[in-house]
Amino acid sequence: MSETPHQFDETLLSGYLDGELTQGDAQRVRLHLEECPDCRNATDELHKLREATMNSEFRVPDDTQWDETPRGAVSRFLHTFGWLIAGLWVVGIGAYLVWQIATGSESLQFEGMLGFGVLLAVGLIILSALIDRLKVRKNDPYRKVLK
């Protein structure tokens, strides 16, 4: 005996339309539809809506709209190399300053201030980038899209 409309789970109608039900559930829906004009009508209406949706077409801009070349191997290499040079420069300046302090050079004050200022600036930039990276890593909504 089939189910009455009150007992019937109408969400199954969508699963039936989409072919996403198990064989048992699909058979259950078929039996119900044979005896329930309301659900038959609802299924028919949902079917028409789905067809109208899938038959729609949208205007799409031509391909030049999104032909930005994704960063390639050369770009990635230059980016990495640039940061490597910057890092080596910072380390070099730092080492030079330490050497100046250790040898008690007369020009220590000027060069020390210069070196300290540059190091501080670069340090802050790096720290800023690091903070951004950590924040992105923590909240990155795209990390789940990766396998």
State the number of binding residues for another protein (CB under 8 A).
38
Minimum CB–partner distance for residue 61 and another protein (Å): 6
- Enclosing H/E stretch for 43: helix 37-54
Pair 8, 38: CB distance under 8 Å: no
C-alpha 3/C-alpha 81 separation (Å) is: 70
Which position has the token pair 């992105």? 136
- Site string (126-145) toward another protein, x via CB under 8 A: ---------------xx-xx
Tell me if 18 contacts another protein by CB under 8 A: yes
Near another protein by CB under 8 A, which window of 39-47, 80-88, 89-97, 113-121?
A: 39-47
Looking up tokens 């009150």 gives 6
Binding track over 60-99 against another protein, x by CB under 8 A: xx-x-xxxx-xx----------------------------
20 binds another protein (CB under 8 A): yes
| Contacts of range 61-65, beta carbons closer than 8 Å, 24 or more positions apart | none
CB contact at 8 A, 94 and 123:
no
Q: Interface with another protein by CB under 8 A: which residues?
A: 10-15, 18, 20, 42, 45-46, 48-61, 63, 65-68, 70-71, 141-142, 144-147
